[in-house]
Structure 1
Amino acid sequence: MEEQAFFDILREGLWIAVKIAAPLLTVALVMGVVIGLFQALTSVQEMTLTFVPKVGAMIFVFWVSMTFMSAALVSYFTDGIIPLIVGR
């Protein structure tokens, strides 16, 4: 395998990882800011208040975006990795 092809596949794999992680990380960021504002406004400093809603929202978004994540990984594998293994 040439060096350029290796770096192209690596770059594409990293971009797929970013696209797959973006919905979960965005929800975690938004929920963290919302919960932080709520805690600052109400002076409630409960640890489970930050953890449980954030994890619940992330699980929901993961459940909703599972088809997108699976399709992105499968297309990357079938279009990018398998042809390199086969040697086409």
Structure 2
Amino acid sequence: MTEPMIYDLTRQALWICVVISAPLLTIALVVGVVIGLFQALTSVQEMTLTFVPKAAVMLGVFWLSMSFMTSTLVSFFTETIIPQIAGG
């Protein structure tokens, strides 16, 4: 395996990490901003108000996007990593 191949493989792996984590991070950002605006408008500063809804929504999004994440990782490994290990 040459050095450019290692860099390309690392670049692809990092991009897969970004693609897989994007749904969870996006929904956490959106829910956090909405709850923050709600707290600012109503002057309610309860810590559990930010944590519990965000955790519940992130759990739901994770459950919904789990098949996408799994298929993305499996295709990356079967199309890229396994052939490199096998000497392709």
TM-score, normalised by the number of residues in structure 1: 0.99
Q: Unpaired runs of 5+ in structure 2?
A: none
Displaced runs of 4 or more, over 4 A = none
Partner Cα distance (2:71, 2:7) in 1: 23
Root-mean-square deviation over aligned CA pairs? 0.4
The aligned residue for residue 5 of structure 1 is 5
Identity %: 66
Shift of 1:31: 0.4
Corresponding letter in the other structure for 1:44: V
Relative to the length of structure 2, the TM-score reads: 0.99
- Mapping 1:1-80, distance limit 5 Å: 1-80=1-80
SS in 2 for 1:45: coil
How many pairs does the alignment contain? 88
